[in-house]
């Protein structure tokens, strides 16, 4: 199978991992890159040996691009992805899919009319950690899932990210930044959600950048930075979830799923691997489950490679726009519930993506 050509728009911090992935996965090849800051695209092209440095407009009209990889900042995701689809390209976005439900719906509907694919990060859930955890649940080791906990607590990103402003703008915050990893993992493990009940707050109205090159600059915080809530899933499972940029230190586990027969400790959904631990009635303590699936190390681009292979064979792709839209709906519901102090019923649902095949060679997705 000939690899599909990928054009990258947005050559920032995360792009290196995708450029590396472009050489690793045999269903994709990165042929071009672009950025509104031309030097950013030029520097990445030089570093990674990308043949064409284009303007974003030229990249969208290039015959040598089948899929646009949109790894711009979150507030640009909707416009860049929609322009890509209107230009006749499949598109794969970094998370979140878009900032609003309306933008997300427009993107999916426009792509569907043109028979184009929309994919979206995170693809960490296709890695060994979450796929093994999913297999443990599907094989019945914890019985019927009853409840879950999901915790992502830290003190934000202004101490390390070179341009951390977007983390505190509308569409940023810990839910839109990290929620996609946790919620995509939870939907992979438990299926779609039905509703959200949440309380939100913002501990600091200003944040001080301590990372270079903007050290000393103040960021005005536009979005809640502590979101605490309950997600009720269609299968009846109830998840207590906290995402926060207002916590100095926490040792709470990332995700646990508790069932009628046992408990499952799921590794950090922001990584591909990690330890999967199982406890069943009668065990002395947690037992580590060996990985059943491949991709236990950094594999960004796996979801994009899966989409490229799926386009060629006509099967559904796993890191889909529908899944990302459902995750966006859940994240927005946290904000809505925080404002209205009521349970928000979700307007969307999605298919649980099919599990990854076992026994894959590195670089392969089928």
Ligand X SMILES: NC(=O)c1ccc[n+]([C@@H]2O[C@H](COP(=O)([O-])OP(=O)(O)OC[C@H]3O[C@@H](n4cnc5c(N)ncnc54)[C@H](O)[C@@H]3O)[C@@H](O)[C@H]2O)c1
Give the CA distances from residue 181 to residues 20, 115, 186, 243, 325, in Å, rounded to whole numbers and listed in that order: 21, 27, 9, 11, 13
If the CB atoms of residues 80 and 305 are measured against ligand X, the closer one turns out to be 80
What tokens appear for 357 in the block?
Answer: 């095949």
Out of 6, 33, 76, 324, the residue judged to bind ligand X by CB under 6 A:
76
Q: Quick one: which segment of 72-80, 106-114, 226-234, 322-330 binds ligand X (CB under 6 A)?
A: 72-80
Those residues whose C-beta lies under 8 Å from the C-beta of residue 300, and which sit 6 or more positions away, are 14, 17, 18, 20, 21, 121, 123
> Positive or negative CA dihedral for 245, 250, 255, 258?
negative
Q: Of the ranges 32-40, 219-227, 245-253, 318-326, which one interacts with ligand X (CB under 6 A)?
A: 32-40
Phi and psi, residue 220, nearest 5°: -85, 125
Interface segment toward ligand X; rule CB under 6 A; list 8-16, 111-119, 291-299, 340-348: 8-16
Contact status: 44 vs ligand X (CB under 6 A): no
- Segment near ligand X (CB under 6 A); pick from 34-42, 126-134, 218-226, 357-365: 34-42
- How many residues lie near ligand X (CB under 6 A)? 21
- Whether 278 and 263 have beta carbons less than 8 Å apart is answered as yes
Select 145 or 179, whichever has its Cβ closest to ligand X. 179
Distance CA 256, CA 334 (A): 20
Identify which of residues 82 and 237 has a Cβ nearer to ligand X in the complex.
82
Cα→Cα distances 356→23, 67, 82, 362, 364, Å? 21, 22, 28, 13, 11
CB of 326 to ligand X, least distance (A): 18
Task: Tell me the window of 31-39, 189-197, 199-207, 338-346 that interacts with ligand X (CB under 6 A).
Answer: 31-39
Show the site string, 82-121: x = touches ligand X by CB under 6 A, - = not: ------------xx--------------------------
Per-residue binding letters, 194-213, with ligand X (x by CB under 6 A): --------------------
Q: Which burial class, exposed, middle or buried, applies to 123 when counting CB atoms under 10 A from its CB (0-12, 13-18, 19+)?
A: buried
Using CB under 6 A as the binding rule, whether residue 39 contacts ligand X is answered as no
Among 27, 62, 72, 200, interactor with ligand X by CB under 6 A: 72
Which stretch in 74-82, 145-153, 193-201, 261-269 sits in contact with ligand X by CB under 6 A? 74-82
**Chain position whose Cβ is nearest to ligand X:** 12
Nearer CB in complex with ligand X: 10/129: 10
Closest CA to 213 of 260, 168, 164: 164
Long-range contacts of residues 279-283, Cβ cutoff 8 Å, at least 24 apart: 280/141, 280/142
Residue 10 near ligand X by CB under 6 A: yes
Measured between alpha carbons, how far is 144 from 130 in angstroms, rounded to an integer?
A: 18
Distance CA 223, CA 240 (A): 21
Q: Kindly tell me the burial class for residue 100, based on how many C-beta atoms sit within 10 Å of its own C-beta (0-12, 13-18, 19 or more).
A: middle
Identified binder of ligand X from the candidate list 42, 73, 100, 228, rule CB under 6 A: 73
Q: Phi-psi region for residue 88, left (φ > 0), alpha (ψ -120 to 50) or beta?
A: left
CB of 11 to ligand X, least distance (A): 5
- Residues found near ligand X in the complex (CB under 6 A): 9-15, 35-37, 40, 56, 71-74, 76, 80, 94-95, 163
């Amino acid at each position: 199978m000939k690899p599909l050509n990928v054009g990258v728009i947005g050559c920032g911090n995360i792009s290196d991992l995708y450029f590396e992935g472009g050489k690793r996965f045999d269903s994709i090849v990165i042929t071009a890159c672009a950025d509104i800051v031309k030097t950013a695209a030029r520097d990445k092209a030089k570093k990674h040996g990308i043949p064409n440095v284009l303007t974003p407009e030229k990249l969208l009209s290039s015959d040598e691009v089948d899929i646009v990889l949109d790894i711009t900042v979150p507030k640009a995701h909707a416009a860049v992805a929609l322009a890509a689809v209107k230009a006749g390209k499949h598109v794969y976005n970094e998370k979140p899919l878009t900032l609003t439900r309306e933008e997300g719906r427009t993107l999916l509907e426009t792509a569907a009319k043109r028979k184009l694919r929309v994919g979206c990060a995170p693809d960490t859930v296709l890695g060994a950690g979450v796929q093994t955890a999913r297999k443990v649940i599907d094989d019945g080791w914890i019985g019927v899932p009853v409840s879950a906990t999901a915790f992502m607590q830290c003190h934000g990103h202004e101490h390390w990210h070179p341009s951390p402003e977007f983390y505190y703008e509308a569409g940023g915050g810990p839910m839109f930044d990290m929620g996609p990893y946790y919620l995509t993992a939870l939907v992979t493990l438990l299926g779609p959600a039905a509703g959200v009940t949440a309380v939100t707050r913002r501990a600091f109205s200003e944040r001080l950048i301590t990372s270079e090159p903007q050290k000393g600059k103040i960021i005005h915080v536009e979005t809640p930075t502590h979101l605490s809530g309950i997600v009720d899933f269609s299968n009846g499972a109830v998840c207590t979830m906290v995402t926060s940029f207002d916590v100095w230190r926490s040792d709470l586990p990332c995700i646990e799923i508790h069932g009628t027969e046992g408990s499952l400790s799921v590794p950090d959904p922001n990584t591909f691997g990690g330890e999967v631990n199982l406890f069943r009635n009668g065990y002395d303590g947690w037992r580590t489950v060996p990985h059943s699936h491949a991709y236990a190390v950094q594999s960004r681009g796996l979801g994009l490679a899966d989409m490229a292979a799926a386009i060629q064979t006509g099967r559904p792709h796993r890191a889909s726009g529908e899944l990302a839209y459902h995750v966006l709906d859940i994240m927005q519901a946290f904000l809505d519930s925080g404002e209205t102090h009521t349970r928000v019923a979700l307007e969307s649902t999605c298919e649980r993506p099919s599990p990854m095949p076992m026994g894959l060679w590195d670089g392969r997705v089928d």
